[in-house]
Structure 1
Amino acid sequence: SFSGSGTFTSTGTIQVTLYGTGTPGTGQTDNFTATADGSGGTCTFSVSVIGVFTCGSPFIYGGQSYNTVQIGLQCWMAENLNIGTMVNGSANQTDNSIIEKYCYNDIAGNCDEYGGLYQWHEMMQYGSFEGAEGICPAGWHLPADNEWCILENHVDAGFVIACNSTLWRGTDAGGNLKESGTTHWSSPNSGATNSSGFTGLPGGSRHMVGSFISFTQEGSFWSSSTVGINAWFRKLNYSNSQVWRYTHSNSTGLSVRCVMTETVK
């Protein structure tokens, strides 16, 4: 238990730091209440203990559980990010302190199953530096173009992919990154094995003019790396076992994966 007293010397937002000793239990949540004297109000805040994270274990972000997978020395989300408030596909996402997402065909259930679609600047939270945290949880970041290349080279069985090459690359990296079968992917879902555990899904995209395209046929994923006014992305396709690398307009809405900031030992 804990009790103490103190005085705030100013109004507005004030940071309160709590220190503890001992070993808390995983999943433990401790609640603390601060009550002001006189006519002041009451505020309650909590500290949650989530334990030490191990890649391959799920974690909670924004009320949703995400699976993770270690691929080489990288730890990736094994699901498309689905965070934020749905906005209509006809409108651009805006810098308004609210994370906004598109759901394919403006159907919320598509976000639940395939993840949200994000314009590049919204994903980056209006920063511009490569490897930014953006809309990823703390301790994770938006993969840079070269981090996607590292992933491709690790999962491609028979080809060394030149990181600066474009269009379709490698031999079977796309198939090894795609979820197998046709539960989510259109037939034939060529070469799909998901041997990597990445479980790439075909969330389609929101075109820069506001329409939705390629649902169940393509999964396109942003990088945090730019070229001119555009940004690099990766694409998986239902009829191809390779990975596509090219650039997209920042106003396009694509899927997002996060990669852990600390390299897996």
Structure 2
Amino acid sequence: MGSLYDDRDGKTYKTVKIGEQEWMAENLNYDVQNYKSSYRSWCYDNKDGKDGEVDNCQKYGRLYRWSVAIDSLTLAQEQGATCGYNTAGVGNCFVPNNWKGICPDGWHLPTTNEWNDLADSVGGSSFAGKNLKSSEGWDLIGGVNGSDEFCFSGLPAGYRNGSGKFATDYTYFWTADKSKNLSYRAYAMGIPYQKDVFVTGDRDVGVNAYSIRCVKN
């Protein structure tokens, strides 16, 4: 185990070395400001600790649109790629290797291959869900706890769907990869609440909001 200090907002995250990779062992909770407030990120169930309520961002990290996860504004300025909100289906959208996105300096948004390497390091996709899940919390909302054998501490963070509603049948993590088949979709990794598997699927980039884990360069 190690730690990562994000000098943008002063937060410190736990990190963990698994195989040849070093991962954040907590979900990103950076409230990026250079996007319209309605397109930035969400706390699960819109509970952000105000008025004495639970702070789900502090507990689970934030849920981000893909365009924010890849920092599409910087991507357009520095690379000329058009991957912003509701623009991924037109123009020239691509994400370079080791693209930082909204991760802290020295870290980047992982690709599908990097997530698959992680899954292989913890027993393969059939068991990775169990081995990456935290050992508590999932059962409180209808899921199955994991073993957290590798200290990845995957939490039941849920997600925000295309209807603007929050759901707890999966926890999803964005990758840096666009779909190979549909220009308006990007790949995400999912952990089902009630199963031990780890799955890959392409999801709509314009509507869904998922968690982010960064991997070290």
TM-score, with structure 1 as normaliser = 0.64
Return the offset for 1:260.
0.1
Secondary structure at the aligned position of 2:100 is classed as: coil
Q: Compare 177-186 and 200-209 and name the one that shifted more.
A: 177-186
The residue aligned with 2:87 is: none
> Is 1:134 the counterpart of 2:101 in the alignment?
yes
Q: Is the CA contact (8 Å cut-off) linking 1:175 and 1:193 kept in structure 2?
A: yes
Residue 92 (structure 1) shift: 4.4
Structure 1 residue matching 2:141: 3-state secondary structure? coil
**After the TM superposition, which residues 30-49 of structure 1 pair with which residues of structure 2 at under 5 Å, given as runs?**
none
Q: Which residue of 2 aligns with 1:28?
A: none
Q: Which residue is equivalent to 1:239?
A: 194
Residue 70 (structure 1) aligns with:
17
State the alpha-carbon separation in 2 of the partners of residues 153 and 71 from structure 1. 10
Select 1:114's aligned residue among 47, 56, 60.
Answer: 60
1:259 aligns with 2:215: yes
1: CA distance, partners of 2:193 / 2:164 = 23
* Distance in 2 (alpha carbons) for counterparts of 1:112 and 1:256: 14
Q: Determine which structure has greater relative contact order: mean sequence separation of CA pairs < 8 Å that are 6+ residues apart, divided by chain length.
A: 2
Which secondary structure state, in structure 1, belongs to the residue aligned with residue 130 of structure 2?
A: helix
Q: Distance in 2 between matches of 1:85 and 1:101?
A: 8
* Deviation beyond 6 Å, 4+ runs, structure 1: none
Instruction: Tell whether 2:194 aligns with 1:194.
Output: no
The corresponding residue for 2:172 is: 220
Q: Report deviation, 1:185.
A: 5.4
CA distance in 2, matches of 1:185, 1:63: 31
Q: Distance in 2 between matches of 1:189 and 1:106?
A: 24
- Measured in 2, the distance between the counterparts of 1:247 and 1:188 equals 23
- The match for 2:3 is 58
Aligned to 1:26: none
Q: Does 1:148 align with 2:115?
A: yes
Q: Is residue 137–residue 156 contact of structure 2 (8 Å, CA) maintained in 1?
A: no
- Indicate if the aligned counterparts of 1:177 and 1:193 stay in contact, CA closer than 8 A: yes
Which entry has the higher C-alpha Rg, 1 or 2? 1
How many Å apart are 1:181 and its aligned residue?
2.3
Taking the aligned partners of 1:119 and 1:152, their CA distance within structure 2 comes to 24
Q: Deviations over 1:75-107 (max 9, x none)?
A: 000000000169xxxx741xxxxxx32111111
| Contact kept? 2:190, 2:198, Cα under 8 Å | yes
SS at 1:153's partner residue? Answer: helix
Aligned equivalent of 1:229, options 184, 192, 196: 184
Retained in 1: the 8 A contact 2:137–2:155? no
